[in-house]
Chain A
């Protein structure tokens, strides 16, 4: 394995869902279209987008819950085979996922200990009370739930939201995965404890060399944790690259809209009228994924829309510094014309 092989990658992944209405009419929801993503050891990629942008669907494809409609997921360069929509069991030894809702992802009837012991038994064949106790204590200490003895025998309802999410992370770590997919892992936690969670993820990335996908709608939080940002809009990836460049100087008009709309405490209250000076009014809303606009999916809202945007989907344009975007504005043909 070369150093450049990504641990987990999505190659041109498309996921469509077929839905039937009550009267039997079929329609296709184009949830993710042509998404490509590489996760490297010890690096964090943030997938940023609004609700309905397809980021959760992509995470679930990567987690092996859905088979992609086309394209493939590759684990260390090897395409992952799926049988009847389910990945092989070994896959989850390497790829684990943390869900958004810490209240929903722990069975209320099981103690913390049970949640951590199961993966230890299943994946590492740990047997024997003493050995299990030791490993459980280690895991709890790694997610800073100390003293561990105090937490091991608690039920989820006895823990706060942040503590539960730590247990969820510890449970995923028990498998000793190579990739951790975080589907908005902090968005349901209280503001004051989100950072501790982000710092924890950062530490795990540094200590264990985990490859981390951090899905979020909070672009400031993404900037804090990640190395690289990928922006999704209406099921398509529109821009990606190193975080500072992408956020400081967005190429795609949607990224710009997203960055400008995000609250920034650093901006302060100094120029409120300008901050909310809304020509944002006529900007419309994300399109339906059943019948997305032709061409670039952002064109109905784009202030720079050209004729070509309405008819042809923009291809990926790679630029300097590892940046890329899908926008006709930055396509080489545009610059020569």
Chain B
């Protein structure tokens, strides 16, 4: 299964791009610290609002900060929020959707009510209010808020899929053998949802990165932390567009678009795995050679 996932160019490209940004985020602090002139927080008063040059590859901001250094540091912030919110959102979606679909009946009615509630809730104003109450909105808090408000759609998907898998004969058969519900849920039903969960997670990463940028743009962000969102927000505040300082907001914007595209590409591949139709075609064309090798 893993090998066939890696076969398509889409998945490879997507994973490549995401991998690049993850590496960038991980190596960011070391990179910015070891390369002179790449300190994202240093204000170089001699270089204010300069276009890209040999010294500052991506130019500098109105405050004399290096845009490249900020973009690297921003990857760390944005991806941190993206991944953490996706983890939280996916976990909540599974916790609510899986039992709802598996048990059905009253359990389903309550859990489904809960996810419907979160779907119709006006999330953005709520986030604004919650974030306003939270003192010192660090990236942690932002990720928590995004994850907490963004699980409901996924829960509906998981519920529908869990319901269809739970009704298959093998679940009934294993129940008849005396398997406890816990094992049926996590050993029989959940593994069949891997594809959907993976897709949901990637969707969550995109959503998280975007939501963080959106919130930062609205002014809800950690003033100390640097993310692609805060970069764009700073550029907007200093009227970078009007001043023609494109190098300030294009790199972070492009990075967000790249990460989103890459995650979508990977999703295509995951979709092929989750979608039985696409999968059988793949297997049928592959099996003869594979089985000979075995």
Contact = CB atoms under 8 A, between A and B. Distances in A.
Interface of A: 63-65, 89, 92-93, 96-97, 99, 101, 104-107, 109, 118-119, 122-123, 168, 171-172, 174-175
A97 B179 CA distance: 15
A118 B174 contact: yes
Given A105-B169, A105-B170, A106-B170, A97 B192 contact: no
A123 B178 contact: yes
B173 interface: yes
A123 B178 CA distance: 8
Contacts of A101: 169
B244 interface: no
B206 to A, nearest CB: 28
Given A92-B178, A97-B173, A174-B177, 16 more contacts: A63-B176, A65-B172, A89-B178, A92-B176, A92-B177, A96-B176, A96-B177, A99-B172, A105-B169, A105-B170, A107-B174, A109-B192, A119-B177, A123-B178, A168-B173, A175-B177
Given A107-B188, A109-B191, A99 B169 contact: yes
A132 to B, nearest CB: 15
Contacts of A172: 177
A115 to B, nearest CB: 8
A119 B176 CA distance: 10
B168 interface: yes
A122 B182 CA distance: 14
A121 to B, nearest CB: 10
B178 A122 contact: yes
B177 A118 contact: yes
A104 B192 CA distance: 13
Interface in B122-181: 168-174, 176-179
Contacts of B173: 97, 99, 105-106, 168, 171
A172 B175 CA distance: 12
B177 A122 contact: yes
B161 to A, nearest CB: 15
B169 A175 contact: no
10 contacts: A64-B176, A93-B178, A96-B177, A97-B173, A97-B176, A104-B169, A106-B170, A107-B188, A118-B177, A172-B177
A31 B168 CA distance: 21
Nearest to B170: A107
Given A107-B188, A109-B191, A109-B192, A118 B170 contact: no
The 7 closest A-B pairs by CB, nearest first: A104-B169, A105-B169, A107-B170, A122-B178, A119-B177, A99-B169, A105-B173
B191 A122 contact: no
A65 B176 CA distance: 9
B153 to A, nearest CB: 25
A171 B192 CA distance: 21
B34 to A, nearest CB: 47
Nearest to A106: B170
Nearest to B178: A122
A175 B178 contact: yes
Given A109-B191, A109-B192, A104 B168 contact: yes
A97 B177 CA distance: 9
A280 to B, nearest CB: 35
Contacts of B178: 89, 92-93, 119, 122-123, 175
B291 to A, nearest CB: 9
Nearest to A103: B169
Nearest to A84: B105
Contact of A118 (B169, B171, B172, B179): B179
Contacts of A109: 191-192
B2 to A, nearest CB: 14
